[in-house]
Structure 1
Amino acid sequence: MRLSCKAPTAQRTGAGPARGGLLYGVGRACAARPWRVIAVWLVVLLAALAADRSWGGSYADDFNLSGTPSSTGADLLDAHGGAGLRGVAAQIVVRSDEGTLTAHREELSAAGRRLADLPDAVSVASPLDVPEAVTDDGRTGYYTVRFRENPAQFEKSYVDRVDDAVRGLRDDGVTVEYGGPLGQLARPAAADRTSELIGVGTAVVVLLLGFGSVAAAGFPLLTAVVGLLTGLSALALLAAEFSFGTAAPTLAVMMGLGVGLDYSLFLVTRHRKLLHTADSPVEAAARTVATSGRAVLVASLTVTLSLAGLFASGVHFIGAMGVAAGTTVLAGAAAALTLTPALLGLAGRRVDRWHVRTPVDEPDDGDVWHRWAAVIRRRPWTFLLLGLVLLGVLAVPAASMRLGHVAAGASPTSYTERRAYDLIADGFGAGANGKLTVVVTLDKDRATTGRRRDDLADALYDKLVHTPGVASATRPTSTRDGALLVAGVTPDTGPQEEATTDLAHRLRDDVLPEVLSPEGATGYLTGTTAAQEDFRDILAGRLPVVVGVVVAAALVLLLTVFRSPLVALKAAVLNLLSITASFGVLVAVFQWGWGTALLGVDQAVPVESYVPMMMFAIVFGLSMDYEIFLLSRVRETWLETRDNHRSVAIGLASTARVITCAALIMTSVFLAFLLSTNVIIKMLALGLGVSVVLDATVVRLLLVPAAMYLLGEANWWIPRRLDRILPRLDPEGPRSTPRPAGATAPSPGRSR
């Protein structure tokens, strides 16, 4: 890439770079041959949609983590447990509306046989055969159906087969609900596009009111939709080969639609400004892509790098979510850099022919944003401290964040998994929805020469039932081959309660080693709840690693682009502050319950274990978007004028309108997903929406300009040795930006 920042005069900005460079050539070619570019995108889009329909995959949550205690315990059960303990278990809850379940004995048995005949069913335990599976009043019970694979990943048509198997029960007056992974499979299809329509509708209003031009509203929308549909189709094809969580496509829509609108809007606004001085619309489009397109390219790479940093978690589920979001981000950037200049070239100088009010683009001197920059320049310390205090107050709740898993009890009552959860909780107690399975491996030599196996089972049972937090436990029983002892533990509390997490750690760290270690035996906790606890512990431990990787990658990229250690460090620190503030809002709303009822959540819930990690990667990348948009204009003016105060003022004024409108659009896109019935999607929507608002207002309009005014010309200081090491993305620029006389450098002794 080449970027020269020469202009006709030192005082005039926006005239564009010298001709040449890869991005300049891309912009010129697309604008000069618009119909070819449009045709190519149309073919790509139709081919992607057709491939999605033919070969697209499905999405399912899979929290399995190889090597963890829960995974090891599950593997042991598969190897030694027999059909009754193998595979993935799901509950089918039944409740007699009149009388007890024994009145429906014949149909319960028939339904059990039909369930056992289902494809991929390994075993079926009927409530009539398992006394612990029926409540004391005899009205509520459950089947335990074990499948070869996770049923949440089956085709939706599988639910119809299950419905057929239990239809006789329903006809007999028995309520039937599906729990666990089978309940996930039975969730209503996410066909409601209300959230997307709200986001698009808000974007139209904001763009028309903010810029007046119909083209300024229509071109970004068209580009974003094309990029989004292409990216979603590509994601569906990836889902046919790799596993992605159920939230992956929704997250991809949120990201793809938001950044696609932002990137194209940034280009359209700059193009309409350059039309005043360029020789032709094609030349204006070429200069737009060479300047603002460079910012878009860097911004999209920054977001993608942040999302790729999720692989540092070492958890496939998390890394795959980053891939899902990154797919639509890259598709949106590709559409913005090629389709947008094609549309601008097609429109020519008539780009503002249709308008709802007097069209506006980047402002000239004297407008409200220049006056705002002047206000900050007069009192930089005041605005810096004001912004820091505001972010600090919002960040306070983040200190009490509790990670966990949002159980089915927080799902809408329209979901069968929620109704199954409530039936189990009402009949068996809240802890019955979060049962733990204890798997014990035996040392045969020591078990025969020391305490007998039965004695060990008795000792373990006695210890389990007297452990605080345990509602009940089953006596450990031996598998057929004698290799394992297996027991069930029912907590006092539900699966998303902190007390259940404490119990899992108490059993794993204290109770099991105390009883089993002297006899040469080893105990493992397994089951869905134990797997979720392992998942939570791993993510909590690796969050600092992900933060470090993402921040380091962003620092290197910013250093390479802007050639300034202080600018890169300032951007990273301020982004970390805004992210922490958004975490605080998340804790206050969902964990403390401040307003959850307004969001359609009828109870306080823990912060889903993977949400902070996902939010960090996404928010850090999006924050860098606006940072790059702003700093690109500041640096462009600095290279022209060598006047730091003027550069900050022009950069802030030139990008304030587009950043504000882009933030309004992205916030509306995110917050529209609060209408989702998925609590985790609500968390992501609120957290991302709040972070964008804070970033576009407090950070970008207060903290960044105030800090840059205070740092002065030291903003652009870089040690010459570091300048030589870093690759250059703008070879026409000076090899090393000198430190002007009088500038204060952080470490002058290190500059050579």
Structure 2
Amino acid sequence: MATFLYKLGKLAFRRRHFAALIWVALLTLAGVGAASAPTAASSSFSIPGTEAQKAFDLLEKRAPEASADGASARIVFKAPDGEKVTDKANKAEIDKTVAAVKAGSDQVARADSPFVSKTVSKDGSTAYASVSYKVTSMELTDDDRDALEKTTDKARDSGLTVEVGGDALQAMPETGSTEIIGIAVAAVVLVITFGSLIAAGLPLITALIGVGIGVSSITALADALDLGTTTSTLAMMIGLAVGIDYALFIVSRYRGELAEGRDREEAAGRAVGTAGSAVVFAGLTVVIALVGLAVVNIPMLTKMGFAAAGTVVIAVLIALTLIPALLGYAGKRVLPMGEKSKLFGGGKKKAADGETAGEPKQNMGTRWARFVVRRPIAVLLVGIVGLGAAAIPVSKLELGLPDDGAQPTSTTQRKAYDLVSDGFGPGFNGPLMVVGDLEGADDPKAAAGEITKTISKLDDVLTVTQPMFNKEKNTAIISVVPSSKPSGLETEDLVHSIRDSGAQITSDSGAEIMVTGTTAMNIDVSQKLNDALLPYLALVVGLAFLLLIVVFRSILVPLKAALGFLLSVLAALGAVVAVFQWGWLGSLFGVEQTGPIMSMMPIFMVGVVFGLAMDYEVFLVTRMREAYVHGERPGQAIVTGFRHGARVVSAAAVIMIAVFAGFIGSSEQMVKMIGFGLAIAVFFDAFVVRMALVPAVLALLGKKAWWLPKWLDRALPNVDVEGEGLRTAAERDADAAADREPARV
């Protein structure tokens, strides 16, 4: 592989105009496609294989009006103290408001007065009107939302408290200025690392080109492939991080090759042949982790994974082709001023005091590596204890999917949620929809009555409505209001109790019952994600383990990499629980409302963090193995690997942390949580696991770290990540040149 990439890097360097033109053309094509693509609707959400989805599919077939997935709004009215909503003036104002909402937008399908639908609290203090739209929340225009807000604002002038819940006011998530700050931090780190504005600008420019192509392609295909808005956000997040990192490693290695006296074209070829090999395998681990999300069998999550993986592939290809092309344009400007004079006509730099000419210069990475090699047990214990302490909150992890109760208390959605809870009971914010399939029942009406009677006797049931039948009378819909809140454990137990009672109902009446609705769907999603976590972990870690055996030609190094990853991801999840569930330092990260951790967070972090963690493992340890293969002792190889790689890996980690942390400012709770989780995970993995635990373990293992059974060594392909083939070819060329030189007398 190193030889192929070496030739590719030299080709891109020589044909720089052609390489740059191709990427500019791809960016233009993707941009035009995104600009001309139709506006995508919000992605459909389905969870195949669950009872909630089965019930929804049945309703879509037999009672499509009941399964409509348009936007909805719940307008909650509360009368002033001492008054009731049924008072003449208040009642007139409420009816007037509902009528104005219906007339305010041609997208309103239905708006029911609370006095008609009988949604008035027992004490008469609170009422709510249900509004349904013909289109999804993402398809609603700003004019539609403005009409709803203006109408409710006007109603408040009468003295009524009016708040709006539901998803009708849900707008596109905003990431805020912190995303720009994250990119600015990345730029500063790159300037400090390289000491050259040109060298610092290359990774940023190429990463933005890659993200531009990836996100524009997602936008262009969003309507055709049913991609949600979160898909492009995730692709942007991952694409920026790996795009900057991969380019950083190539540029850094290029400068190192120049420092050894090679000409620019040869240096570009060797940089792509060595660091580019590490980029390819690091990218493969990220792609495996993201594509592996398909194991969960939740289409939305699968699409997010594939889209982000596509952006990673683009980042890898750009690093291998566009970076060497741009290095051809940059010339000597990628070097600091002192290095330019040294390498381009200024002569060799005199050894500093205390240094021997030709001896590698000491740096922070070298000094830290020597410290770890001298005290591996102490470093190992401190690192493991620290990560273990950070992981303790995981034992109290509560999973769920956010509803309006997780919104900040300042929002109208949260205020509406609280008004309904106070006036009617928390269960009214998430009623369960029980669907009765009566096709096998001898007496459908009697069977539906039996279902209602059985459910009303269960614990945690507040109210059960009378069955509503479809036209054919073979399907009944029953609304069940729990006594507890939608995200409560009691509600989850009630869903399971209803489903458990279905067997008895089927045997007695021949009817089959299923529970669906938003609350039941959330419960099923959480369960499906929990069930898929271990198989997904086994698949992703197993495939990456095999890949790393090929890269490092070792058994213990990949095993150590996987165990270190588990420590870092558990510690990161512990931090997420502490901040978003317990509220520790919540105000610092803009967390206004604590609650359960999103159900997809553990499996998502496992996938993304594993791929990113292997990036640093590959980049750092390949330099160690390169030194070991070239004859250095195991301990010295660790120091050499840190001398060449520690500074660059540290810079890459800081950049990735800054990019992920930039998404903490998002208005979307899911994006905020993912940004924080990935940022803290990269911090733990890069600076604790890879920079401390990895060299400590390798120091303790010594030569055993690079042990591989002979039979396996013969069976594995030689991918030559260390670039040994390039060195051998160079030595052959040097020998041939010596043979051609005339003998001197």
* Pairwise same-fold verdict (TM > 0.5): yes
| Pairing 1:632-651 to 2, within 5 Å after superposition | 632-641=622-631, 643-651=633-641
Please name the residue that 1:38 is paired with: 20
Please name the residue that 2:116 is paired with: 129
1:180 and 2:166 correspond: yes
Please name the residue that 1:103 is paired with: 92
Q: 1:384 to 1:83 in 2, by over 3 A?
A: closer
| Pairing 1:181-196 to 2, within 5 Å after superposition | 181-184=167-170, 187=171, 189-190=172-173, 193-196=176-179
Please name the residue that 1:284 is paired with: 267
Q: 1:447 to 1:637 in 2, by over 3 A?
A: same
Mean CA deviation greater in 131-140 or 548-557: 131-140
The Cα of 1:115 is off from its aligned counterpart by 7.9
Deviations 1:222-245 (CA, angstroms, capped at 9, x unpaired): 121111111111121231222233
The Cα of 1:520 is off from its aligned counterpart by 2.2
1:706 and 2:696 correspond: yes
Which one-letter code corresponds to 2:487 in the other structure? Q
For 2:341 and 2:452, the matched residues in 1 are separated by 79
Deviations 1:172-227 (CA, angstroms, capped at 9, x unpaired): 5587765434343xx2x445551321111111222223332223322111121111
The Cα of 1:43 is off from its aligned counterpart by 2.5
Match of 2:676 among 686, 690, 701: 686
Mean CA deviation greater in 82-91 or 255-264: 82-91
| Pairing 1:695-734 to 2, within 5 Å after superposition | 695-730=685-720
SS in 1 for 2:717: coil
For 1:268 and 1:193, the matched residues in 2 are separated by 31
1:565 and 2:550 correspond: no
1:371 and 2:353 correspond: no
For 1:433 and 1:356, the matched residues in 2 are separated by 66
Deviations 1:499-550 (CA, angstroms, capped at 9, x unpaired): 32222222223x4444454222221111111111111111111111111111
Q: 1:681 to 1:85 in 2, by over 3 A?
A: closer
For the 8 Å contact 2:98–2:112, the answer to whether it is kept is no
1:583 and 2:573 correspond: yes
Q: 1:130 to 1:646 in 2, by over 3 A?
A: same
Please name the residue that 2:425 is paired with: 429
The Cα of 1:586 is off from its aligned counterpart by 1.3
- In structure 1, stretches of 5+ residues that fail to align are 4-20, 735-752
Match of 1:118 among 77, 102, 107: 107
Deviations 1:135-167 (CA, angstroms, capped at 9, x unpaired): 7526531224264x6x1352x42x524655886
For 2:372 and 2:106, the matched residues in 1 are separated by 73
For the 8 Å contact 2:152–2:163, the answer to whether it is kept is no
Match of 1:243 among 208, 214, 226: 226
Please name the residue that 1:318 is paired with: 301
The Cα of 1:720 is off from its aligned counterpart by 2.7
The Cα of 1:127 is off from its aligned counterpart by 2.7
Please name the residue that 2:397 is paired with: 401
For the 8 Å contact 1:78–1:87, the answer to whether it is kept is no
Mean CA deviation greater in 81-90 or 218-227: 81-90
For 2:575 and 2:407, the matched residues in 1 are separated by 21
Q: 1:204 to 1:458 in 2, by over 3 A?
A: same
Please name the residue that 2:485 is paired with: 494
SS in 2 for 1:641: coil
The Cα of 1:627 is off from its aligned counterpart by 0.2
Mean CA deviation greater in 123-132 or 48-57: 123-132
Q: 1:108 to 1:227 in 2, by over 3 A?
A: same
Please name the residue that 1:52 is paired with: 34
SS in 2 for 1:274: helix
For the 8 Å contact 2:194–2:336, the answer to whether it is kept is no
The Cα of 1:457 is off from its aligned counterpart by 4.6
For the 8 Å contact 2:105–2:147, the answer to whether it is kept is no
SS in 2 for 1:275: helix
Please name the residue that 2:588 is paired with: 598
The Cα of 1:412 is off from its aligned counterpart by 4.0
The Cα of 1:672 is off from its aligned counterpart by 2.0
Match of 2:666 among 650, 655, 676: 676
| Pairing 1:39-438 to 2, within 5 Å after superposition | 39-55=21-37, 58=40, 60=42, 62-81=44-63, 83=65, 86-88=68-70, 90-95=72-77, 100=85, 102-104=91-93, 107=96, 110-111=99-100, 114=103, 118=107, 121=109, 125-132=112-119, 136-137=123-124, 139-145=126-132, 147=134, 151-154=136-139, 156-157=140-141, 160-161=143-144, 163-164=146-147, 171=154, 179-184=165-170, 187=171, 189-190=172-173, 193-353=176-336, 364-412=360-408, 417-438=413-434
Please name the residue that 1:15 is paired with: none
The Cα of 1:263 is off from its aligned counterpart by 1.0
SS in 1 for 2:630: helix
For the 8 Å contact 1:212–1:355, the answer to whether it is kept is no
For 1:536 and 1:697, the matched residues in 2 are separated by 32
Please name the residue that 1:749 is paired with: none
Deviations 1:602-645 (CA, angstroms, capped at 9, x unpaired): 33211101111111110000000000001111121122115222
For 1:113 and 1:684, the matched residues in 2 are separated by 38
- In structure 2, stretches of 5+ residues that fail to align are 344-358, 726-745
Q: 1:645 to 1:144 in 2, by over 3 A?
A: same
SS in 1 for 2:466: coil
Which one-letter code corresponds to 1:283 in the other structure? E
Match of 1:485 among 476, 498, 512: 476
Match of 2:649 among 659, 671, 694: 659
Deviations 1:100-148 (CA, angstroms, capped at 9, x unpaired): 35213663564476489638x4x5544342103667526531224264x
Which one-letter code corresponds to 2:51 in the other structure? P
Please name the residue that 2:527 is paired with: 537
Q: 1:52 to 1:356 in 2, by over 3 A?
A: farther
The Cα of 1:71 is off from its aligned counterpart by 1.8
SS in 1 for 2:459: coil
For 2:462 and 2:692, the matched residues in 1 are separated by 54
Q: 1:632 to 1:109 in 2, by over 3 A?
A: closer
SS in 2 for 1:129: helix
Which one-letter code corresponds to 2:6 in the other structure? Y
Question: TM-score, normalised to structure 1's length?
Answer: 0.86
Q: Determine what percentage of the aligned residue pairs are the same residue.
A: 37
For the 8 Å contact 1:403–1:608, the answer to whether it is kept is yes
For 1:260 and 1:637, the matched residues in 2 are separated by 27
Q: How many residues align?
A: 700
Q: 1:167 to 1:664 in 2, by over 3 A?
A: closer
Which one-letter code corresponds to 2:116 in the other structure? D
Deviations 1:539-596 (CA, angstroms, capped at 9, x unpaired): 1111111111110110121112221121111111111221111111112222223232
The Cα of 1:385 is off from its aligned counterpart by 2.0
SS in 2 for 1:535: helix
For the 8 Å contact 2:48–2:297, the answer to whether it is kept is no
Mean CA deviation greater in 135-144 or 497-506: 135-144
Which one-letter code corresponds to 2:46 in the other structure? N
The Cα of 1:411 is off from its aligned counterpart by 2.5
For 1:525 and 1:426, the matched residues in 2 are separated by 26
For 2:472 and 2:29, the matched residues in 1 are separated by 55
For 1:232 and 1:488, the matched residues in 2 are separated by 41
Deviations 1:459-509 (CA, angstroms, capped at 9, x unpaired): 543443443222322233444432133221112232223332222222223
For the 8 Å contact 2:176–2:665, the answer to whether it is kept is no
The Cα of 1:426 is off from its aligned counterpart by 4.1
For 1:126 and 1:718, the matched residues in 2 are separated by 74
Deviations 1:652-686 (CA, angstroms, capped at 9, x unpaired): 22111111111111111111221112111121111
